Amino acid sequence: MTHHSSNDALQLSSEEMRTLGYQIVDMIVDHFEHVEDISLATRASRHTLEQRLREPLPEEGRPVEQVLKQLQSDVFANVMPLDHPRFFAFIPGPNNFVSVMADALTSGFNPFAGTWRLAPGTAQVELVTIDWLRQLCGLPETAGGLFVSGGSVATLTALATARHIKLADNTQDAVVYCSDQTHSASDRALKLLGFAPHQLRRLPSDASFRLSTDELTRAIAEDRAVGRRPFCVIGNAGTTNTGAVDPLSTIVDICRAEDLWFHVDAAHGGAAILNEQGQCLLLGLEQADSLALDPHKWLFQPYEIGCVLTRQSRWLYETFSVLPEILKDVAGREEEVNFRDYGIQLTRSTRALKLWMSLKVFGLAAFRHAVERGIALAEYAEALLRQSPCWEVLTPAQLGIVTFRYVGKSRPHGDLNALNQRILDAMFEDGFAFLTSTLLRGQIALRLCIINPRTTEADIQGTLQRLERFGERLSDV
Ligand SMILES: *Cc1c(COP(=O)(O)O)cnc(C)c1O
């Protein structure tokens, strides 16, 4: 391909566009086909990457092949593949190719998704896709929402709505309740919304790491007694730490009796609503006033796509709508939904397209089976761990997550936290699998989050065998 520094219109010929496009598709397909062969060992340091990538602003253009080559060798080689079947840390990102292509289409057609009249086609796709999620979650027809960048912005959008509808934006003495297992996205959202840290009460969770409703009732009464204003409870539909689900139905009753907003963080666990077992587990979710979902986790979408739903879609409108002069001409009729009025972004892309297209192409049943597979694989991992005296299961498999620690055959004295940390470090270096730890009541827990439908039983066996070998070797030192 030729040099383009002279092309001031930033345009390639159709021949050049096709060549580049096919090359990039080949790169992506190679990634999907060979992701298992990529090592999961630690990536290059900042120092190395400074040397490779630091350069002055490029005044002149250069051949695209050269840039692609550097992308491959310096950039993508230093990206951890969260779609690797043995990537078990945090929440993995097992992407799907149809959605990747949908993102390319979204970017190529570049619809303006803030204003109905500029892209009614894609706005309708967003309405339909949001409504599919609403139906799955069992929310009433009055509910609505929109796609955002991820769970964090979904949480921010939901809690901003709670603040507006419940408090008319006056945060004075208002109190929010959640368990100590709640994701930090809630802390950050409340901080941005003008709440002081003490206005979020992180209550000690019960033995299964669920919100204790006794603690909740007590805290609400205590706060009311001293003139504070309880206004919102955040329930977890699958904590990131252990997959624990708070007693949502009981929390609903408390919220209704106390006139509190009920927000549910279903960023990790919401996808389990696809299957019957998950529906039982998540009972009460359908009563939420607001809900944060994260299709870029367990609905197998590329980043970024999160989703916020509220029980009344007008609550979002009442919270976010403003109408400056420049937008008056495109204000639209009642039935024309301008997503700019429902959230933080004016200019926004159509994140819905990838979820819509992949659901239509694979079908919901395929997604359901993929989610069920994750749940079953975590149960399989738990069963394997229970077969060996070297392991102690700390929390059972829940929503694809199991936590455990190495205790050794002879239950070594000494510092188990330090030993488990060394096991983890050995795996970082080894690169066969990637997992992280979490801290559960002061104990370091190894943690597997198994939601990749391409993960096999052999991947899990191999990972646990290796961890056990590290454990044996490191207990001796
Ligand atoms: C991942 C996660 C979040 C944050 O979502 P992002 O998409 O990372 O912004 C919030 N809550 C829970 C339970 C999560 O797992």
User: How far is ligand 1, taken at its centre, from the CA of residue 156, in Å?
Assistant: 11
pLDDT at position 411, please?
A: 62
pLDDT for 335 equals 85
The pLDDT, as a whole number, for residue 5 is 46
Nearest atom (ligand 1) to Cα of 269: 13
d(CA 164, CA 318): 8
Q: How many CA atoms lie within 13 A of 250 on its CB side?
A: 13
Helix H or strand E encompassing 401: strand 401-406
What is the value of pTM for the model shown? 0.96
Of ligand 1's atoms, which has the minimum distance to the CA of residue 155? 10
Q: Which residues line ligand 1 (CB under 6 A)?
A: 91, 150-152, 183, 185, 240, 265, 267-268, 294, 306
Q: For position 399, what pLDDT does the model report?
A: 98
List of residues 6+ apart from 217 with CB closer than 8 A: 254
C-alpha 381/C-alpha 393 separation (Å) is 10
Query: b/e per residue, 239-255, with b = 16+ CB within 10 A?
Result: bbbbbbbbbbeebbebb
Measured in angstroms, how far is the CA atom of residue 143 from the centroid of ligand 1?
22
| Gap from CA of 133 to ligand 1 centroid (Å) | 17
If you measure from the C-alpha of residue 306 to the centroid of ligand 1, how many angstroms do you get, rounded to a whole number? 9
In 296-373, DSSP assigns E strands to 306-310
Contact 466, 446 (CB under 8 A): no
Contact 83, 96 (CB under 8 A): no
pLDDT of residue 325: 72
pLDDT tens for the chain, residues 1 to 477: 555 445 789 999 999 999 999 999 999 999 999 999 999 998 999 999 999 999 999 999 999 999 999 999 999 999 999 999 999 999 999 999 999 999 999 999 999 999 999 999 999 999 999 999 999 999 999 999 999 999 999 999 999 999 999 999 999 999 999 999 999 999 999 999 999 999 999 999 999 999 999 999 999 999 999 999 999 999 999 999 999 999 999 999 999 999 999 999 999 999 999 999 999 999 999 999 999 999 999 999 999 999 999 999 999 999 999 977 777 776 666 789 999 999 999 999 999 999 999 999 999 999 999 999 999 999 999 999 999 999 999 999 999 999 999 999 876 667 999 999 999 999 999 999 999 999 999 999 999 999 999 999 999 999 999 999 999 999 976
Mutate to test the pocket of ligand 1, among 234, 241, 242, 294 (most ligand atoms within 8 A of CB): 294
CA 196/CA 155 separation, integer angstroms: 17
Return the axis-axis angle of helices 213-225 and 248-258, rounded to nearest 10°: 20
Tell me, what's the pLDDT at 252?
98
Query: For residue 251, how far is its CA from the centre of ligand 1 (angstroms)?
Result: 21
The ligand 1 atom nearest the CA atom of 182: 13
Q: State which of 183, 300, 399 you would mutate to test the pocket of ligand 1, scoring each by most atoms of that ligand within 8 A of its C-beta.
A: 183
How many angstroms does the Cα of residue 183 sit away from the middle of ligand 1?
Answer: 7
Pairing status of strand 306-310 against strand 144-148 = antiparallel
Alpha helices by DSSP H, listed for 54-96, are 64-70
β-pairing verdict for 144-148 and 436-440: unpaired
Q: What pLDDT is attached to residue 331?
A: 67
Calpha distance 411→392 (Å, rounded): 10
- Are 367 and 354 contacting, i.e. CB atoms less than 8 angstroms apart? no
Distance 457 CA to ligand 1 centre (A): 27
Tell me which residue has tokens 């799907």. Answer: 96
The number of beta carbons lying within 10 Å of the beta carbon of residue 425 is: 13
